[in-house]
Amino acid sequence: MNAKKVVVIGAGTMGSGIAAHMANIGFEVSLLDLTRESCNALFDRARSARPPHFLTHDRANSVRRGGIDQDLHWVSEADWVCEAIIEKLDAKRALFAQIEPLLRDDAMISTNTSGLQIELLNEGRSESWRKRFLGTHFFNPPRYLKLLELIPTDDTAPEAIAAFTRFLEEKAARRIVLAKDTPGFIANRYGMWSMIWATHVAEQLHLSPEAVDLITGQFLGRPRTGSFRLNDLVGLDIMVDIAQNLQQRCPHDPRTADLATPRSIEFLMSKGWIGEKSGHGFYRRENKELLTFDPVTQAYRERVEPSIPSLEKHGKLPLGQRIAATLQERDEAGEFLREYLIPTLKYATEIKEEISHNVLDFDRVMEWGFGWQMGPFAMIDAIGPENLGFESPTYYQSGQVLSHSGEWQPRPTEPHYLSIKGFPVIEEKGTYALVDLGDRITGVVLRTKMGSISPELVRDLTELFTARPDDRFVLCNDGRCFSVGYDLRFFDERIDSGDMKGIDAGLAELHALGELMEQRRIVAAVHGYCFGAGLELALSCPKIVTAVDAQIGLPEAKVGLLPGGRGTVLMRLHSQGSIKRCVEVAMNLIRGESASNAEEARILGYLRPTDQTVYHPDRLVFEAIEAAKTVEPSGRPGWTNLEGPISGMIDREIDQLNNAGKFSEHDSFIGDRIRMVFAKPTSYESATEMERREFLELCGKALSHARIRHMLQTGKPLPN
């Protein structure tokens, strides 16, 4: 399926989110609502959504907007028509009757729903339609949540299912689970039950929202939001709607009685307090302070940080072991897990055959869609049925998964979805580890905290890349980020002791490492944070392969410095084709700008045209390995002496910020140092020498030292 044009019908929360996601990737997207006016109004809301739906303003502007009443003929251009209107059977059927005569014979058509029966939507449709019609259940917001439940009907052609699945995984950056056409599919049937059941148990045990969120957050291998914060994010009204729908459609399931609206949610909804979107839910922010709704008093109070001994006692154990140990405790965590988790896991075993094709799919929905570290069946294995009080088989063993019929089947291989942690370690160095990525490619995995750059790491990498001039490498991190930059403690300690020579020596070693890496076959695989010296080393690699939502930048000005590991010089080199561009990039450094995603990073000048963006987060390692197979040293651009008044142009920009009250005197001083490196040198060598010299001058300023120390103490910049 070679789709390029997508038409999304319905500009509400999900429709706009799907349109934004597809536009971000680069598809030609058209978005339709009832009228052009309603489409534009809803789209404007999507533009200002937080977290942002769109990568950049340009991606948002690329979406063509129209009304069903005037522009429905656009569907005749589409490779894929994605319907995402109100979840009512009659409304969807009426729209499909209008669409079908306009569709191309080879276009895919889908309905997005969180639980309507897909088969019922085929009523009155032709055989051609039925063969290429499926249900989709995107998770919201699509840009950030990769799971898509795909629901074929009995009439959907197998080749259409296969082609659409490939398209969604390879081109639309989705992880696909084929779900059965049952109420709520897997995600809402089980996930919503789990959310509401947690609220019921908390009420029964009189536990505070803070305590439950602490137990059901990272301790349980789930996102730190925990249960009640997740309720607010989803929306209490949405939860109740889904729960009531499941109760009506699943009379055969005795556990749907547990989906009755909890008392606390009933009270909050009676006040119109439906969670994050209303500003009030189980939590409420007031003057930067987070208040908690107390279900007992039915009033808000100051948030209390709970202390639960068993969580502290067992928190560092592996997930299954810490849950098993806590289940034996007599405190509130043990009691809550016995009342909540055991029934939750048992419920999965009761409905698995009805709602899923296999337990792997079931687990993946909860892992990919809800952010659980382990789905229910993997968790049963990890905890051990003997600790749960009910009989259960083992569901996973080396490369195999237990089928619903009780037979062991091979776990599907997925060569495009790789994790650095899945490769064998060759050597542990301390500051880094070497892993065998296959095809004679070595992964260099940063082992420092948050990938921070230190003198020891610089020396170790220099030794490695010097000793292996002909090898191919992927520089990466298997933690939450690539690198937060140079360890500021190095500068703080040496400024305190007056050791400017030590700082200069550290910069010289960092420069030398960067120049060495330019001559090697190295790909940087970037995700999470990539700041400061981390970006300087990444840019020293011939190629960067970055996850689309990596946060990238050179924010040194905010800690009183300039990019001193060749960052200032590299930015000058990469932008020297245009004086206007040079000034823009210089000002980005002077303001300490960072990008919230890879496309913003390109706009700011932090990525090169040859650097690659990966839109599917799980494909980053695969794409980096593929790039490493062919990467060659490209050499740095030759130095070009710029014609024109670049120095004065940068100076004017700094003055304007100063006069507008947006810059302090010290901001201007830092900006002047960066201006010097951009405007004065006549060669690469003189530029790197000046960069180091200006960096040292800033280290000698008390205001810069104050910024460094404030960042170390608070994690926030000091605007002095």
> Using one digit for the tens of pLDDT, what is the confidence trace for 192-229?
999 999 999 999 999 999 999 999 999 999 999 999 99
Q: What is the DSSP track for 267-313?
A: HHHHTT--BGGGTBSSEEEETTEEEEEETTTTEEEE------HHHHH
Cβ atoms within 10 Å, residue 51: 9
Residue 584, amino acid: E
Q: What is the pLDDT of residue 1?
A: 80
Please answer whether residues 96 and 121 qualify as being in contact, where contact means their C-beta atoms are separated by less than 8 angstroms: yes
**Helix, strand, coil percent content, the chain, rounded in steps of 5:** 50, 15, 35
Q: What is the pLDDT of residue 637?
A: 87
Distances (CA, A) of 246 to 152, 178, 332: 20, 20, 30
Q: Which residues are paired to 443 by β-bridges?
A: 435, 474
Angstrom distance (rounded) from CA 711 to CA 705:
10
Radius of gyration, alpha carbons of the chain: 28
Task: Indicate the SS3 state at residue 145.
Answer: coil
Q: What is the pLDDT of residue 634?
A: 83
Domains of the chain, first to last: 5-178 (3.40.50.720), 187-410 (1.10.1040.50), 420-554+594-635 (3.90.226.10), 556-592+639-720 (no CATH)
Q: Walk across the sheet containing 400-402 and list its strands.
A: 396-397, 400-402, 408-410
Placement of tokens 């960092």 in the chain: 510
pLDDT in tens, 79-100: 999 999 999 999 999 999 999 9
Q: In 97-183, where do the E strands start and end?
A: 108-112, 133-138, 147-152, 175-178
Q: What is the pLDDT of residue 277?
A: 87
Q: What is the pLDDT of residue 642?
A: 84
Task: Indicate the SS3 state at residue 252.
Answer: coil
Angstrom distance (rounded) from CA 434 to CA 636:
27
Q: For the range 306-315, what are the long-range contacts, defined as Cβ-Cβ under 8 Å and sequence gap of 24 or more?
A: 306/208, 306/210, 306/211, 306/214, 308/211, 308/214, 308/215, 308/332, 308/333, 310/334, 311/214, 311/215, 311/219, 315/219
Residues 6 or more apart whose Cβ sits within 8 Å of residue 307: none
Angstrom distance (rounded) from CA 623 to CA 558:
33
> Mean pLDDT over residues 378-405, rounded?
96
Measured N-to-C along each axis, helices 376-383 and 319-327 cross at an angle, to the nearest 10 degrees, of 70
Closest by alpha carbon to 151, among 177, 120, 129? Answer: 177
187-222 as b/e: b if 16+ CB within 10 A: bbbbbbbbbbbbbbbbbeeebbbbbbbbbbbebbbb
Cβ atoms within 10 Å, residue 33: 26
Write out the two tokens for 694: 């200006």
Placement of tokens 């309720």 in the chain: 231
Placement of tokens 């037979």 in the chain: 407
Write out the two tokens for 123: 């009523």
Angstrom distance (rounded) from CA 598 to CA 55:
8
pTM attached to this predicted model: 0.93
Burial label for 97, CB within 10 Å (0-12, 13-18, 19+), is exposed
Please answer whether residues 143 and 20 qualify as being in contact, where contact means their C-beta atoms are separated by less than 8 angstroms: yes
Q: Is the pLDDT of residue 538 over 90?
A: yes
Q: Is the pLDDT of residue 435 over 80?
A: yes
Percent of the residues in the chain that have a pLDDT greater than 70, as a whole number: 100
Q: What is the pLDDT of residue 234?
A: 93
Burial label for 129, CB within 10 Å (0-12, 13-18, 19+), is middle
Task: Indicate the SS3 state at residue 702.
Answer: helix
Placement of tokens 């076959």 in the chain: 521
Angstrom distance (rounded) from CA 1 to CA 308:
53
State the alpha helices, DSSP H only, in 546-594: 567-575, 579-590
Angstrom distance (rounded) from CA 351 to CA 349:
6
Question: In whole numbers, what is the pLDDT of the chain averaged over residues?
Answer: 96
Q: What is the pLDDT of residue 282?
A: 97
> Mean pLDDT over residues 624-634, rounded?
97
DSSP secondary-structure letter at 203? H
Please answer whether residues 460 and 432 qualify as being in contact, where contact means their C-beta atoms are separated by less than 8 angstroms: yes
β-strand pairing of 441-446 with 472-476 = parallel
Cβ atoms within 10 Å, residue 672: 15
Phi/psi at 45 (nearest 5 deg)? Answer: -65, -40
pLDDT confidence band for 629 (50 / 70 / 90): very high
Q: What length does the chain have?
A: 720
Q: Is the pLDDT of residue 30 over 90?
A: yes
Task: Indicate the SS3 state at residue 417.
Answer: coil
Angstrom distance (rounded) from CA 300 to CA 285:
10
User: Rounded to 5 degrees, what angle do the CA atoms 172, 174, 176 make?
Assistant: 130
Please answer whether residues 122 and 129 qualify as being in contact, where contact means their C-beta atoms are separated by less than 8 angstroms: yes
Angstrom distance (rounded) from CA 325 to CA 342:
14
Q: Is the pLDDT of residue 643 over 80?
A: no
Write out the two tokens for 381: 């294995």
Percent of the residues in the chain that have a pLDDT greater than 90, as a whole number: 96
Phi/psi at 441 (nearest 5 deg)? Answer: -115, 135
Q: Walk across the sheet containing 299-302 and list its strands.
A: 283-286, 289-294, 299-302
Q: What is the pLDDT of residue 250?
A: 95
Angstrom distance (rounded) from CA 309 to CA 311:
5
Q: What is the pLDDT of residue 360?
A: 98
β-strand pairing of 289-294 with 299-302 = antiparallel
Q: Is the pLDDT of residue 287 over 90?
A: no
pLDDT in tens, 696-717: 999 999 999 999 999 999 999 9
pLDDT in tens, 322-379: 999 999 999 999 999 999 999 999 999 999 999 999 999 999 999 999 999 999 999 9
Write out the two tokens for 122: 């085929």
Cβ atoms within 10 Å, residue 494: 18
Closest by alpha carbon to 19, among 7, 33, 5? Answer: 7
Q: What is the pLDDT of residue 7?
A: 99
